[in-house]
Amino acid sequence: MKLTEKIKNMYSEMNWKLTGTLMSIPILSELVVDNFSKYALGATKSPFDDSGSYIQTGFGMALMLGIGAHISHKNIEKVKTKKILKKSEKKFRTFVEDAEDLMYITDKDGYFTDVSNSIVNSLGYSREELMKMKITQILTKKEKDYYKLNKDEFISNGKLNTETIFVTKDKKEICGELKATAAYDGKGNYIGCKTVFHNLTERKRAETNLKERIKELNGLHDLGRLVEEVESLDELLPKFAKKIIPKNMAFPDKVYVRLKINGKNYVNSHGFRIKDFSHSISKPIKVKKIKRGNLTMGYIEDLEINKFEQKLISTYARRLGKIIGKKYDEEKIKEQSVRDPLTGLYNRHYYEQNINKIINSAKEEKQKVGFSMYDLNNFKYLNDNFGHLKGDKILKDFAHLLSSSIKSSDISIRFGGDEFLVISPNATHLTKQKIDDRLEKKINSYNKHNNKDIDYNVSVSAGHTLRSDLSNKSIEYTLDIADKNMYQHKKGLGGKII
């Protein structure tokens, strides 16, 4: 073999070895591949040709490149894999740090080993503070108990989906849905867990506010409906205390309510005193800015009154004040419509509105009803000779004498002009005589001390009748009998003139 060919063969062998060595180094492999590719195509000098001469054919170097690439293929893949993993880890870290959900990792003892930015921001602790804390340190007492009770089951199952509550550094509560996944080592031993907490605090707050608002509106609706059903405050207030308030509290069967209006108490349950309760709330009831009473609520057992219940009591107290004010106005107007403006006694309109109720109530109680008619004697003479102002004064004075001569259960009415009517529920045959006797004494005393300036003494004619609870006669018939008896009395045909 010629010397020239030997030298070429030696040179070629050295190139292969060097190329393989370079290709086995991951950092240089891509440079070698790129350079050899260009050289194989005759685009550059051989990096191993010190003389600067060009190899006449690219075949040898192409073959050399293929062998080198095969040798370093695994190393190239490793480099690419590491780059992908680093890129993926960077993306994941960015995702975790920017995620709205709270993410954290704890070890087997419950200590935090990694936390997302969101949990740092939500809880108010720094990352450094959290890394020294256990998961139980951010749980409510109830959740701590749940955590301890269910930890073994979680380690066994490896999964946990539940709602829980975290406590922030400034003692606020955040609630949400927690999803935890257990982690194990190669031997199956529990080493910690990864957790994602979806914060539902705002949604829960909105849902709670909505539920409370609906409950509040339902309570006010019930109160409004009750107002329409009853005719007076004496009907409204006890029903409000017994039905409306307890219904809308957390523990309806354990609520005590006391409603005090103008010195009168309305309660839903007897045998209790507010001072006996460890938790109670009382709000003033103001009618047209004037305090008229209090609305007080407490639990019979040692139960706390929550913020919504406190707000509800305040709302009820305000609304009740407005309702009472409106009822006062309505009753005042109604009272004015059934009262005689001169004497203050009930008028004929009241009689027409209520006589049937009075009769029916007496029938139910199996009671008799007394009717007593009174007519002022010589009243026309009084008006004609001393004027209507003097006549009005006599009417007012007699109305006072009459109303002070009857029982509180009796009803005195100015029936028209100088005629007066007394209706006596649960009357007896003695009722009319007792009224007449008391009235006669009062009239005699009045005449003795009044009207010295005029030639007139008050006297009346009276007519009575007693209606049986078994009577089927009309009310007009009964009243007509009393009226006729009065006119007979006036004519001096029976009895005596008071």
**Residue 81 pLDDT grade (very low, low, confident, very high; cuts 50, 70, 90):** low
pLDDT on residue 269: 76
| The token pair that represents 280 in the structure block | 């109670």
Say what the pLDDT of residue 104 is: 94
pLDDT at 16: 44
Asked if the model's pLDDT at residue 274 lies above 70, the reply is no
Rounded Cα distance between 171 and 384, Å, is 88
List Cα–Cα distances, 484 to 374, 424, 431, in angstroms: 11, 18, 19
**Whole-angstrom Cα distance, residue 347 to residue 325?**
25
pLDDT of 427 reads 92
Q: Is the pLDDT of residue 76 over 50?
A: yes
pLDDT (average), residues 316-330:
89
78-84-89-91 Cα dihedral, nearest 10 degrees: 170
Please tell me what DSSP assigns to residue 496. -
Q: Would the pLDDT of 93 be above 80?
A: no
Task: Give dist(CA 355, CA 482) in Å, integer.
Answer: 15
Q: Using an 8 Å Cβ cutoff, are 135 and 197 in contact? A: no
* Positive/negative CA dihedral, 405, 406, 407, 409: negative
When comparing pLDDT for 1 and 390, which is higher? 390
pLDDT at residue 430 greater than cutoff 50:
yes
| Residue 182 Cα to chain centre, angstroms | 40
Confidence of residue 453 (pLDDT cuts 50, 70, 90): confident
Query: Pick the catalytic residue: 340, 375, 410, 418?
Result: 418
> 344's torsion region: left (phi>0), alpha (psi -120 to 50) or beta?
left
Task: Tell me the per-residue pLDDT of 158-190, one tens digit each, with 9 for 90 and over.
Answer: 999 999 999 999 999 999 999 999 999 988 999
Whether pLDDT at 44 is above 90: no
Examine the pLDDT at 46 and tell me if it is beyond 50: no
Going by C-alpha positions, the residue among 37, 84, 99 that lies closest to residue 64 is 37
Highest mean pLDDT, choosing among 29-43, 160-174, 241-255: 160-174
Say if residues 260 and 241 touch (Cβ distance below 8 Å). no
Count Cα neighbours of 453 within 13 Å in the Cβ-side half-sphere.
2
pLDDT at 42: 44
Average pLDDT, integer, range 289-300: 90
User: 49 vs 4, 13, 54, 55, CA distance in Å?
Assistant: 15, 13, 8, 9
- Which residues are within 8 A (CB) of 286 and not within 5 positions of it... i.e. 6 or more apart? 292, 318, 321
CA distance 75 to 297: 80
pLDDT of residue 429: 87
> Pairing between strand 369-376 and 290-299?
unpaired
Q: What percent of the chain has pLDDT over 90?
A: 48
Q: What angle do CA 47, 49, 54 make, to 5 degrees?
A: 100
Tokens linked to 277: 């309760």
**What pLDDT is attached to residue 228?**
87
Written as one string, the DSSP assignment of 10-54 is HHHHHHHHHHHHHHTSHHHHHHHHHHHHHHHTTSS--TT-TT-PP
| Identity of the highest mean pLDDT range in 38-42, 317-321, 453-457 | 317-321
pLDDT class for 40, splitting at 50, 70, 90? very low
Tell me how far apart the alpha carbons of residues 352 and 21 are, in angstroms, rounded to a whole number. Answer: 124
Query: In this model, does residue 495 exceed pLDDT 70?
Result: no
The reported pLDDT for the residue numbered 407 is 93
- Let me know if 210 is exposed, middle or buried by CB neighbors in 10 A (0-12, 13-18, 19+): exposed
Q: Report the relative pairing of strands 460-467 and 369-376 from DSSP bridges.
A: antiparallel
Q: Give residue-wise pLDDT tens across range 208-222.
A: 889 989 988 998 898
Is the pLDDT at 472 greater than 60? The verdict is yes
* 220/90: higher pLDDT: 220
Rounded Cα–Cα distance for residues 121 and 195 (Å): 17
Mean pLDDT, range 137-157, rounded to an integer: 92
pLDDT > 70: percent of the chain: 78
What is residue 278's predicted lDDT score, i.e. its pLDDT? 74
How far apart, in whole angstroms, are the C-alpha atoms of residue 465 and residue 483?
9
By C-alpha distance, which of 460, 467, 468 is closest to 435? Answer: 460
User: How far is Cα 79 from Cα 72, in angstroms, rounded to an integer?
Assistant: 11
- Is 302 annotated in the active site? no
User: Taking the model in full, what pTM does it have?
Assistant: 0.51
Q: What is the model's pLDDT at position 64? A: 52
pLDDT at 263: 85
Identify the pLDDT of residue 463.
92
Q: Going from the N-terminus, what domains does the chain have, and what CATH number goes with each?
A: 3-77 (no CATH), 103-199 (3.30.450.20), 205-336 (3.30.450.40), 339-490 (3.30.70.270)
Report the alpha-carbon distance of residue 120 to residue 102 in Å, rounded: 8
Lowest mean pLDDT among 88-92, 430-434, 476-480: 88-92
Strand partners, 294: 260, 284
Predicted pLDDT at 173: 92
d(Cα 230, Cα 242) in Å, to the nearest integer?
15
**Residue 110: which of 66, 83, 143 has the closest Cα?**
143
80 or 251: which carries more pLDDT confidence?
A: 251
pLDDT at position 111 is 95
Which residues touch 192 (CB under 8 Å, ≥6 apart)?
A: 105, 106, 107, 108, 113, 182, 183
d(CA 277, CA 258): 13
The mean pLDDT of the chain is: 82
Task: Fill in the DSSP letter of residue 473.
Answer: S
